Homo-oligomer: A and B are copies of this chain.
Amino acid sequence: MSAMEVVKEDGRARLGSVRTAHGRVDTPVFMPVGTQGTVKAATHRDLREMGAQMILANAYHLYLRPGDRLIKEMGGIHRFSGWNGAMLTDSGGYQIFSLGVLREIKEEGVTFQSHIDGSKHFLTPERVTELQENIGADICMSFDECVPYPSSYEYTQASVDLTTRWAARCRDAKKHTDSLLFGIVQGGAFEALRRRSAADLMKIGFDGYAMGGFSVGEPKSVMWQMADIVLEYLPEEKPRYLMGVGFPEDILEGVKRGIDMFDCVIPTRHARNGSLFTATGRINIKHARYARDEQPVDSGCSCYTCRTYSRAYLRHLFVSHELTSYYLNTLHNLFFYTNFLERIRQSIADGTFREFYENFMSQWKGGD
């Protein structure tokens, strides 16, 4: 039985759900990012109240601290953290290859230094699969190499082939039957390599497919060009996940193409920088123009922050470096995202996705 159920299509946009050991997750879905097993400046209660059904944690970070074996001893991440919704863990490939940590790649695996204390570690696809199972993720990701942009064709080709061999080893190493394993299509900005990566991963066979290696500095047009190519290969009956994307307009573009899953640090990281989402774009609450602004951040928003606090007060909290500022801003931005996805799903259900897309894009101004 497939993990993906598609109940309605509107153009290529699809409405459905992914079945996990911690409940069905309505798709298209946005997963708030909880790198260290917690969504920064939010609580489980907040996430539940705003309707978040699945969050993302990072296996690399949890492996280093508090350790996957400790989490396993504690009964898994759900019991350890108290989060009873679905959880996906990224394998850590992106962190190890993109965050500037010292590392050495071999066929067998990768040696790297911890970003926390400089200690040396060696991770193989088998161990990365085991640590995600120890953590107790509902969806595990294959261990992939994520190449920087731009990279040469030769380097990218070798990397894609290594990623494919590692993906097959992850597949073989997977023991638990109550969690899903996704393959990650790589290939940088090269059409031929994206095709090769997608085709090879299909042959191995996964519970779902992700597109990785985006949001690393390439132009957006390149990302969509590559995504369109990869999407030709992805089967209807499996979830499709665009990793690390993105702004609301990017998510809408992705949904239009038939992508089901998204994650990004944007709503939470922007919140901590004072950048808040409204129906027409972002505002930065630190600006002096909001010092006497009695309006809520977004007059159409029903989140706790907008129901309770004025822009003027939120600005005061932000410029005063109050912890409450990060909390209230995060609550608002995550509510904006979960509500946005809710409206997207509703429009597909109603058969009005195209109209929703046009309306949103025509009024959306992006950043302030």
Stoichiometry (number of copies): 2
**A74 interface neighbour in B73, B292, B317, Cβ under 8 Å:** B292
In the complex, what's the smallest C-beta–C-beta distance from A99 to chain B, in angstroms?
A: 16
Asked whether, in the complex, the Cβ of B308 is within 8 Å of the Cβ of A82, the reply is yes
Binds B, one of A2-10, A39-47, A130-138, A274-282: A39-47
Chain B residues positioned under 8 Å from A294 (CB to CB)? 74
Asked whether, in the complex, the Cβ of A326 is within 8 Å of the Cβ of B323, the reply is yes
Whether a CB of chain B sits under 8 angstroms from the CB of A352 is: no
- Assuming the contacts A74-B294, A80-B310, A308-B44, asked whether A36 and B316 have C-beta atoms less than 8 A apart, the reply is yes
Asked whether, in the complex, the Cβ of B291 is within 8 Å of the Cβ of A70, the reply is yes
Chain B residues positioned under 8 Å from A315 (CB to CB)? 66
- Assuming the contacts A82-B310, A304-B43, asked whether A38 and B317 have C-beta atoms less than 8 A apart, the reply is yes
Asked whether, in the complex, the Cβ of A313 is within 8 Å of the Cβ of B45, the reply is no
Chain B residues positioned under 8 Å from A320 (CB to CB)? 36, 38, 65
Q: Which residue of B lies closest to A305 (CB)?
A: B43
Whether a CB of chain B sits under 8 angstroms from the CB of A254 is: no
Whether a CB of chain B sits under 8 angstroms from the CB of A81 is: yes
Asked whether, in the complex, the Cβ of B322 is within 8 Å of the Cβ of A40, the reply is yes
Whether a CB of chain B sits under 8 angstroms from the CB of A160 is: no
Chain B residues positioned under 8 Å from A291 (CB to CB)? 66, 70
Complex alpha-carbon distance, A265 and B46, angstroms:
26
- Assuming the contacts A36-B322, A38-B324, A73-B292, asked whether A316 and B43 have C-beta atoms less than 8 A apart, the reply is no
Complex alpha-carbon distance, A37 and B313, angstroms:
9
Complex alpha-carbon distance, A65 and B313, angstroms:
11
Excluding A36-B316, A42-B324, 7 further A-B contacts by CB distance (< 8 Å) are A43-B328, A45-B304, A65-B316, A66-B291, A82-B308, A323-B326, A323-B327
